[in-house]
Structure 1
């Protein structure tokens, strides 16, 4: 199930949904490397460290997939490369694990 349909946002009107989708599609560059939105969270932050610990305990395959995505993105960025456009992360495929593990 798509996270864009499951996650409840504080401001969840039609206009805000449209703004989030436009921001994701046109302004966030991480999708060009195949990253999920919450892959950009800074790990030394205590909340992020705890969320990743919970993710690793409950769903280690998602934790490993995140590490692989980050490694691939860093390698491509160092070489000045991007994924082909058909492999970019799409809004419908976004996985927002942070809200699940930040409780």
Structure 2
């Protein structure tokens, strides 16, 4: 059994990830993972760096999700965000913001 799991490891994790993703429920509103991040200072700054089209798409998804939540409905299943299609669109901007903040904190420590 353990040899089977070892060979099928990535597939098992992918299936588990997909199960957890679908269980979370945000995809039923058409949201992406990055739409649901807690907006601390780093996330806010990363959002401000998004290209206009990504920023507008994000705002549309969030506005639509709020409307659906208020009306206690969800999207039709064919419109749910799919695990395979959900991209971490904010991640490169967030990594850059965090790197800059850490660099600034390190510089301020030394000066």
Instruction: Please give the range of the TM-score, normalised by the shorter of the 2 chains.
Output: 0.7 to 0.9
Hey, what does 1:21 align to over in structure 2? 18
- 1:100 is aligned to 2:95: no
**CA deviation after TM superposition for structure 1 residue 79, in Å:** 0.6
**Which residue, 48, 54, 59 being the options, matches 2:49?**
54
Over the aligned positions, Cα root-mean-square deviation in angstroms equals 1.4
CA distance in 2, matches of 1:39, 1:74: 12
**CA deviation after TM superposition for structure 1 residue 17, in Å:** 3.1
Q: Which runs of 5+ in 2 are unaligned?
A: 1-8, 96-111
**CA deviation after TM superposition for structure 1 residue 65, in Å:** 0.5
* Length-normalised TM-score, structure 1: 0.76
Question: Larger RCO: Structure 1 or Structure 2 (Cα < 8 Å, ≥ 6 residues apart)?
Answer: 1
Structure with greater Cα Rg? 2
Structure in which a larger fraction of residues adopt helix: 2
Aligned residues: 86
